């Protein structure tokens, strides 16, 4: 599509949204059921496209990481949509009685979605599903780094939706910049903090409200009394799902000093349990491109040069699983083995930028206060994880840190809770779009007051005098 084509597509959706401001429940449900039908009938095709883009990412991984999340979102949304759409009654203050007031949840209009490559189906369709549920039109710009998936999404969405309902725009970063500059009624961006700033600046030119789902260095605090084996397994799962290419993956571990060897052994055993082999294992995703792979290798080499202790974990010691390589693509060369890095310092690149790969720095601390101070010295993270048994320490950590979300004694799972809003804070983003919170995010909450014929508003009309003073005196006593 040319820039003019994209603008014309936006204008089509914009006009349709203004002509049909009231979108009934049946229409919204039918649109969501079309998304559901698209996933049910064409999930294997989409999974194959994801596999082609990554080189090594099995359909089963895409099933759990993309499709399952979308299916639970659809089920939850369809179940609660009628209630979410109802006008929200509010109590009327004494001085306005007997009038009535409520909040009407109306569609915003046209919602733009710029989605990333790491979960290319889930993070494209999840905000679109919520925006459609709220009665909006949607224009989706998926990532150019997953061209097969983007092309399939464009083909399928065009098959299931009219262009003025839901459309997909393909293209490179210049296309994304153009989409960000359009005067949407709301714009959702998922990606890096650096690009998120550019998107926010472009949207600001049109006063377009945004939801920014960004990243950051999400810490994992291991408390002194935790079950180390259990913690290491859950940290390894959170870190290595999709080879660490997850916005809420644990970025680094804060560990009580003296427990380093214990954690290393537990983490190594956890990796072997989850991934008996790395090379050729379809459950262990490739790094998305050679450029991203080279960046991760450079970060590791720099840390080692600067004095860090690097341990690479390969349970099969390089023995490939030859039975699956031919059927699952050519990404074996980009399957990066997990690494633990001890002795990482703030001057290392690993601790200055989001890692987004299977490298896990481990930082030792002497007191919990030191761990909390370390977290609070940096930008606020998208997620925070704490492992321990003491409810008092847990409460202390929750009270003294600020993050987009928290999972206690596990990783990642807060994102799967449909009644918990998911989003960032500060450098990790703003806004949330899960569950009812997301529905409200994509609505205009219009205030409505219906005045009664018995209203006494005239008591506040001029001319002001002694009668007005008596009334205001009475009201002050009632307030």
- Catalytic site residues? 213, 247
Got the DSSP string for 331-398?
Answer: GGGG-PPPEEEES--TTSGGGTS---SSEEEEEEESSHHHHHHHHHTSPPPSEEEEE-S-HHHHHHHH
**Residues in CB range of 224: below 8 A, 6 or more apart:** 256, 259, 388
Nearest CA-CA partner of 191 in 111, 116, 112: 116
- Asked if residues 218 and 169 have their Cβ atoms less than 8 Å apart, the reply is no
Strand stretches in 85-185, DSSP E = 88-90, 100-107, 110-114, 137-141, 166-168
How many C-beta neighbours within 10 Å does residue 365 have?
Answer: 18
Strand stretches in 160-308, DSSP E = 166-168, 186-190, 210-213, 219-222, 252-256
Token pair in block for residue 357: 């790969």
Rg (CA), the chain: 26
- Asked if residues 266 and 227 have their Cβ atoms less than 8 Å apart, the reply is no
Say what the alpha-carbon torsion angle 405, 410, 411, 416 is, to the nearest 10 degrees. Answer: -70
Strand stretches in 74-159, DSSP E = 88-90, 100-107, 110-114, 137-141
Q: Residue 287 has what DSSP assignment?
A: P
Strand-pair category, 339-342 with 359-365: parallel
> Dihedral sign, CA of 143, 240, 70, 55?
positive
The phi-psi region of residue 244 (left if phi > 0; otherwise alpha if psi is between -120 and 50; otherwise beta) is: left
- The distance of Cα 175 from the centroid of its chain, to the nearest Å, equals 22
Residue 251's alpha-carbon distances to 79, 85, 86, in angstroms, are 35, 38, 41
Classify each residue of 443-453 as buried b or exposed e, where b means 16 or more C-beta atoms within 10 Å of its C-beta: bbeeeeeeeee
């Amino acid at each position: 599509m040319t820039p003019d084509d994209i603008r014309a597509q936006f204008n089509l959706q914009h006009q349709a949204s203004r002509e049909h401001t009231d979108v009934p429940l049946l229409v919204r449900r039918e649109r969501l059921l079309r998304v559901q039908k698209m996933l049910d009938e064409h999930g294997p095709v989409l999974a194959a496209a994801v596999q082609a883009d990554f080189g090594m990412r099995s359909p089963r991984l895409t099933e759990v990481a993309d499709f399952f999340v979308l299916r639970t979102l659809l089920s939850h949304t369809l179940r609660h949509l009628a209630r979410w759409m109802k006008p929200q009654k509010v109590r009327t203050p004494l001085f306005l009685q007997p009038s009535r007031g409520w909040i009407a949840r109306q569609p915003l209009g046209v919602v733009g979605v710029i989605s990333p490559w790491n979960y290319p189906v889930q993070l494209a369709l999840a905000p679109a599903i919520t925006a459609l549920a709220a009665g909006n039109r949607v224009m989706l710009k998926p990532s150019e780094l997953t061209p097969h998936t983007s092309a399939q999404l464009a083909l399928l969405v065009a098959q299931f939706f009219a262009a003025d309902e839901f459309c997909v725009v393909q293209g490179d970063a210049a296309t994304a910049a153009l989409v960000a500059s359009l005067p949407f009624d709301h714009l959702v961006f998922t990606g890096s903090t650096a690009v998120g700033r550019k998107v926010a600046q472009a949207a600001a030119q049109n006063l377009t409200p945004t939801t920014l789902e960004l990243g950051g260095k999400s810490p994992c605090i291991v408390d002194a009394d935790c079950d180390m084996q259990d913690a290491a397994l859950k940290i390894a799962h959170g870190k290595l799902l999709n080879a660490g290419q997850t916005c809420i993956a644990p970025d680094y571990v804060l560990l009580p000093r003296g427990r380093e060897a214990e954690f290393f052994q537990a983490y190594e055993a956890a990796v072997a349990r989850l991934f008996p082999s790395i090379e050729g294992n379809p459950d262990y995703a490739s790094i998305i491109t050679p450029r991203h792979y080279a960046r991760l290798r450079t970060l590791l080499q720099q840390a080692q040069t600067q004095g860090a202790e690097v341990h690479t974990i390969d349970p099969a010691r390089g023995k490939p699983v030859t039975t699956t390589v031919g059927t699952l693509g050519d990404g074996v060369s980009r399957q990066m083995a997990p690494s633990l890095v001890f002795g990482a310092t703030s001057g290392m690149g690993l601790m200055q930028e989001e890692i987004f790969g299977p490298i896990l720095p481990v930082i030792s601390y002497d007191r919990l206060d030191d761990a909390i101070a370390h977290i609070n010295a940096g930008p606020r993270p998208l997620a925070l994880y704490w492992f321990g048994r003491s409810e008092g320490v847990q409460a202390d950590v929750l009270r003294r840190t600020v993050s987009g979300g928290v999972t206690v004694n596990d990783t990642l799972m807060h994102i799967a809770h449909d009644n918990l809003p998911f989003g960032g804070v500060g450098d990790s983003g703003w806004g949330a779009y899960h569950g009812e919170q997301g529905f409200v995010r994509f609505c205009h909450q219009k205030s409505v007051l219906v005045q009664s014929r018995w209203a006494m508003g005239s008591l506040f009309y001029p001319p002001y005098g002694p009668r007005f003073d008596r009334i205001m005196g009475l009201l002050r006593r009632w307030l």
